[in-house]
Amino acid sequence: MTEGNFVDYVKIHVASGKGGQGSAHLRREKYITKGGPDGGDGGRGGHIILKGNKNLWTLFHLKFKRHARAEHGSHGSKQRSSGADGADQYIEVPLGTVVRDTETEEILFEITDDGEERIVAQGGKGGLGNWNFKSSTNQTPRYAQPGIDGQEVDVTLELKILADVGLVGFPNAGKSTLLSVITAAKPKIADYEFTTLKPNLGIVEYREFKTFVVADIPGIIEGAAEGKGIGHRFLRHIERNSTLLFLVPADAPDIIKQYEILLDELRRYNPEMLDKDRLIAISKSDMLDEELKAELKVILDKGLKAPYLFISSVAQQGLMELKDKLWEMLNTETA
């Protein structure tokens, strides 16, 4: 998935179909002079239906298709023939898509299962034909119901990535490099800040053909919850992760302070994110010799209130230990 093709926020206008009009037909045949009312009902208008598709990872396919309209129902006809229902219009979306009413910003529903179908705009009901209105006192009704109009609504589709582990860190902490090493993902990597402009997903291959999914979001800076930097736009992508992996580089001026800043940004964005399992990876640790690591461990054991380990993506150090720890945390979470 390239950065240009990743779209996680789309506004679309949907319109369901109008119901067909009921028929006011009166039966007239050569040998039946007063056959009475036999007008059929109108067909239902088509629904606009959102459907989950596990093979989609982005809303890119809706970027240039901002309108969806379903068919109208057909009118009723003679001999109590009901009109055909209008064809439903299906819109496939990736799992983790939240649907909001654009005007009120109310969350209507979210799609989390493959094949799940939810109606976002209900088709109009078809009108009743005149045969429904006949009675002993009204034997020849010459009227029928019109079809009910469909619904028109503007909705906002917002994707929240469904991944097992979310990478959290400052720009240039080594998140993209780690993702490229432990998965087959190929994120853009460079030596300047905010190289990552869009979230990246990667599947980690673990022992005995087991796998889990890791999501990397653009780097967070202090004040991200208030809109600074670009990471705040993508914090929603780690709301669904069961485990958060914090990356802090070994050459950071103060590892404990950087971790606390990241933690505070998550708390200010959504306090519930602090309830997730957390693991801290001290990246770029190939720059440290054993003596420096020992000194650093003494400081980190006192200041960090979460498990941590040393890794180096470039030197391939500590990566299997990292996978083991993540798998253990994920397995404990789902047990």
Binding residue positions for GTP: 169-176, 194-198, 216-219, 283-286, 312-314
Query: What are the binding residues for Mg(2+)?
Result: 176, 196
Token pair 């905010």 in the structure block, residue = 194
Report whether 118 contacts 109 (CB < 8 A).
yes
Query: What are the binding residues?
Result: 169-176, 194-198, 216-219, 283-286, 312-314
Residue 36: strand, helix, or coil? strand
For strand 89-93 and strand 9-15, is the pairing parallel, antiparallel, or unpaired? Answer: unpaired
What is the residue type of 114? D
Order of strands across the sheet with 165-169?
A: 200-205, 211-216, 165-169, 243-249, 277-283, 308-310
C-alpha distances in angstroms, 100 versus 89, 105, 107, 317? 19, 6, 4, 44
Listed in sequence order, the residues at least 6 apart from 18 whose beta carbon sits closer than 8 Å to its beta carbon are 45, 72, 73, 86, 124, 147, 148, 149, 150
3-state secondary structure 226-253: HCCCCHHHHHHHHCCCCEEEEEEECCCC
Question: What's the length of the chain?
Answer: 335
